[in-house]
């Protein structure tokens, strides 16, 4: 149902947000920000980039109303006042001009046009009075109210009705456009089922998904969709993850692995232990993130809001001047004529086209990004994406698959230490790095009975532990250098990623691991170059490997063997050269670099709560080709927004001059206000239908 629009005022009596902008945000479900604020960590509510953009996640604006369109009946109710007003206006114009009726004059004619005016005018006049009572005189309701009532005062009844009618039609189309934008996003993201089958006391019960508790066991049949995040307690199960990543390739999970809301069970019956509440699932957070994204206003939106607050009072006083000042300079001054000109000036000057279309344009850009599997946290980041001149990226998991396989194993004396690879396998099992998975797949089952102790991860180097009272080192050759272990090989001569092994202060050998480049990685770099964007790779992997990958992809610059602090130093050097720089990575391990970037883009953010909270843009399907798509969407959004600004100001300026000179009527004023607003809305929603090629 469509609820009556209301306006909330602060203690100072000022309407906290223009009704048009409020509608855009409220229809985007912004009021849920307050309800779900508990989902946001302190870092997401306010984390300022050291040398980049602010990440102030604003709280609820104080509104408590919502618009939604459910079916044709609600759509009819939305336009019903405008339809009634239009029919009465057309009949009145017919009586005036086509079918001359002697009875249609005087008070009866006034009553007829008042009847046409009230369905669309009364809500606006109520808002104007409410606004004035709270001390905010110069609202768009005030402008529309005095312009249309002024038209009635000088007996220009049809013009008065027409101005308010088209204003109401403009608001209705805006409501429709925003509702559909919101609906499109929700269809894309809200993949959660309403019910879940759980096992309690040996019985299977079907209850509402939101009533499922943490620790409950969900029984998921083949073809059913999971409603909450949890851990798989069945031995194995295959899932379709298209709802989360856009990829329908089956993903096989083993006992103890995490499964997420939105995944579809493909084969055998599966049981999942719930680990998060319905409202806290990663899919819920992503849905909230995108629907609340419009709260992050772009600089253009903020400028227009400030401009409207200054601009509106100025034009009101100019309209008064147009009405009265000519009395002192014009010989044949006729008050009615100059009042009519001032009313035209007021109608034209209403900034509705700007305050409607600009937020809608950014919301459309966010919706278009969502349709392409890209989650953007706000309109401000679309502006930053549009201006990006340099993309800095990680290698593993960003431009490569992040799925390593052991290529070669060289041990100095395997006979003396037959269990050395079991030691390495057990130690690597304590790490979450993809290398650990590759070693586990190569060596086989873990020998948990081995006396592994004092496990320590050394950032940028590897792992250290004690086994049988002796020191075990597994990592890069820098780790061996750190602990002064000599080795007879030159790491620079080894082409692949190398894992060195030392035990009891003695070098034991190394194994090499290779990662495959993502299929669309090369095309994404080519697309970035075509957009005039430079690309640089920063990686902790060995220099030779990084340079080889960069050469294959056509990346401009590449640096390897970097510790986290080295990445920061390199990135600062890039920031000095280029004004707007984006960073693409996992958003967690590279947190210091993300903090320095103007816009942080996370790959595979579904795997980490921290990524969803800290990244500005999240690419759902891990495809690097989405990086240039995000930049294209940012550029397209900015272009459309500035088209609307230029068009609105241009038409208004022309009609304002014509109106003040008596060359334009109220009908031209209607076009300059509501007509321009409607055209700007249509232009703004155009981006939602645009197709951006990967």
Q: Active-site residue numbers?
A: 394
Using an 8 Å Cβ cutoff, are 175 and 81 in contact? no
- DSSP secondary structure, 377-390, as one string: --HHHHHHHHH--E
Query: Up-side HSE of residue 551: CA atoms within 13 Å toward CB?
Result: 6
Burial classification of residue 318, based on how many CB atoms lie within 10 Å of its CB (0-12 exposed, 13-18 middle, 19 or more buried):
middle
Question: Which residue, chain included where needed, has tokens 């790490």?
Answer: 431
Q: Residue 83 CA to chain centroid, in angstroms?
A: 36
Using an 8 Å Cβ cutoff, are 586 and 603 in contact? yes
626 to 191, 375, 393, 519, 520: CA distances (angstroms): 22, 11, 13, 13, 9
Cα torsion for 575, 286, 63, 176, to the nearest 10°?
Answer: 100
Question: Which residue, chain included where needed, has tokens 């009635």?
Answer: 152
Q: Residue 361 CA to chain centroid, in angstroms?
A: 13
What backbone phi and psi angles, to 5 degrees, belong to 219? -100, 120
Q: What is the DSSP letter of 32?
A: H
Rounded Cα distance, 438 and 431, in Å = 12
What backbone phi and psi angles, to 5 degrees, belong to 673? -95, -75
Contacts of 109 (CB under 8 A, 6+ apart): 92, 95, 96, 157
Using an 8 Å Cβ cutoff, are 346 and 315 in contact? yes
Rounded Cα distance, 203 and 226, in Å = 19
Rounded Cα distance, 136 and 128, in Å = 9
Rounded Cα distance, 528 and 535, in Å = 8
Using an 8 Å Cβ cutoff, are 218 and 201 in contact? no
What backbone phi and psi angles, to 5 degrees, belong to 682? -60, -40
b or e along 627-642 (b: 16 or more beta carbons within 10 Å of the residue's beta carbon)?
A: bbbbbbbbbbbbebbe
Please work out, in degrees rounded to the nearest 5, the angle formed at the alpha carbon of residue 471 by the alpha carbons of 466 and 473.
100
H-type alpha helices, 241-298: 242-245, 282-291
Kindly state the helix (H) or strand (E) to which residue 352 belongs, with its residue range.
helix 352-371
H-type alpha helices, 211-298: 242-245, 282-291
498 to 462, 501, 511, 590: CA distances (angstroms): 11, 10, 6, 21
Q: How many residues would you count in the chain?
A: 694
Using an 8 Å Cβ cutoff, are 185 and 201 in contact? no
Q: Report the DSSP pairing between strands 617-619 and 374-376.
A: antiparallel
Please work out, in degrees rounded to the nearest 5, the angle formed at the alpha carbon of residue 228 by the alpha carbons of 212 and 270.
95
- Residue closest to 289 by CA, chosen among 640, 605, 621: 605
Rg (CA), the chain: 32
Rounded Cα distance, 280 and 261, in Å = 10
């Amino acid at each position: 149902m469509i609820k009556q629009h209301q306006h909330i005022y602060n203690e100072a009596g000022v309407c906290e947000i223009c009704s048009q902008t409020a509608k855009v945000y409220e229809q985007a479900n912004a009021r849920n920000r307050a309800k779900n604020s508990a989902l946001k960590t302190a870092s997401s509510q306010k984390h300022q980039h050291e040398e980049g953009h602010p990440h102030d996640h604003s709280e609820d604006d104080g509104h408590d109303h919502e618009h939604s369109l459910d079916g044709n009946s609600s759509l009819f109710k939305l336009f019903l006042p405008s339809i009634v007003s239009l029919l009465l206006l057309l009949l009145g114009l017919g009586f005036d001009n086509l079918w001359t009726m002697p009875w249609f004059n005087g008070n009866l004619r006034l009553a007829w046009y008042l009847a046409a005016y009230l369905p669309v005018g009364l809500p606006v006049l109520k808002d104007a009075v409410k606004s004035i009572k709270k001390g905010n005189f110069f609202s768009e309701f005030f402008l529309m109210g005095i312009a249309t009532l002024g038209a009635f005062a000088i007996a220009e009844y049809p013009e008065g009705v027409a101005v308010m009618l088209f204003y109401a039609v403009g608001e209705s189309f805006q409501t429709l456009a925003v509702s559909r934008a919101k609906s499109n996003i929700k269809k894309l993201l809200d993949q959660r089922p309403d019910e879940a089958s759980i096992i309690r006391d040996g019985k299977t019960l079907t209850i509402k998904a939101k009533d499922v508790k943490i620790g409950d066991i969900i029984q998921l049949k083949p073809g059913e969709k999971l409603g909450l995040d949890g851990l798989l307690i069945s031995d194995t199960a295959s899932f379709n993850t298209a709802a989360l990543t856009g990829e329908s390739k089956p993903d096989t999970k083993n006992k103890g692995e995490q499964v997420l809301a939105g995944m579809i069970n493909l084969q055998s019956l599966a049981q999942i232990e719930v680990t998060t509440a319905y409202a806290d699932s990663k899919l819920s957070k992503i849905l909230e993130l995108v629907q609340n994204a419009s709260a992050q206003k772009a600089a253009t939106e903020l400028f227009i809001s400030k401009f409207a607050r200054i601009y509106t009072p100025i034009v009101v006083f100019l309209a008064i001047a147009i009405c009265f000042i000519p009395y002192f300079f014009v010989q044949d001054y006729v008050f009615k004529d100059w009042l009519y000109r001032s009313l035209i000036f007021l109608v034209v000057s209403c900034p509705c086209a700007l305050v409607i279309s600009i937020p809608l344009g950014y919301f459309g850009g966010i919706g278009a990004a969502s349709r392409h599997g890209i989650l953007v946290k706000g309109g401000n980041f679309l502006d930053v994406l549009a201006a990006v001149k340099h993309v800095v990226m990680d290698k593993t998991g960003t431009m490569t698959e992040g799925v390593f396989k052991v290529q070669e194993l060289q041990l100095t004396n395997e006979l003396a230490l037959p269990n050395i690879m079991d030691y390495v396998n057990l130690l690597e099992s304590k790490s979450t790095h993809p290398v650990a998975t590759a070693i586990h797949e190569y060596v086989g089952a873990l020998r948990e009975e081995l006396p592994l102790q004092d496990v320590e991860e050394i950032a940028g180097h590897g792992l250290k532990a004690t086994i049988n009272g002796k020191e075990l080192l597994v990592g890069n050759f820098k780790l061996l250098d750190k602990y002064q272990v000599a080795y007879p090989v030159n790491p620079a001569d080894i082409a692949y990623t190398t894992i060195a092994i030392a035990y009891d202060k003695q070098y034991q050998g190394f194994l090499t691991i290779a990662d495959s480049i993502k299929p669309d990685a090369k095309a994404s770099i080519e697309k970035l170059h075509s957009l005039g964007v430079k690309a640089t790779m920063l990686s902790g992997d060995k220099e030779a490997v990084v340079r080889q990958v960069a050469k294959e992809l056509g990346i401009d610059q590449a640096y390897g063997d970097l510790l986290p602090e080295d990445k920061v130093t390199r990135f600062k050097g890039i920031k000095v050269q280029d004004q707007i720089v984006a960073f693409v990575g996992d958003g967690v391990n590279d947190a210091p670099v993300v903090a320095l970037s103007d816009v942080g883009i996370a790959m595979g953010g579904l795997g980490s709560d921290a990524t969803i909270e800290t990244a500005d843009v999240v690419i759902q399907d891990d495809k690097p080709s989405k990086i240039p798509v995000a930049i294209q969407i940012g550029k397209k959004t900015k272009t459309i927004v500035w088209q609307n600004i230029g068009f609105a100001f241009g038409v208004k300026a022309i009609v304002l001059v014509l109106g003040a000179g008596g060359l334009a009527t109220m009908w031209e004023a209607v076009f300059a206000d509501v007509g321009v607003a409607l055209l700007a809305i249509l232009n703004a929603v155009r981006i939602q239908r645009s197709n951006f090629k990967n």
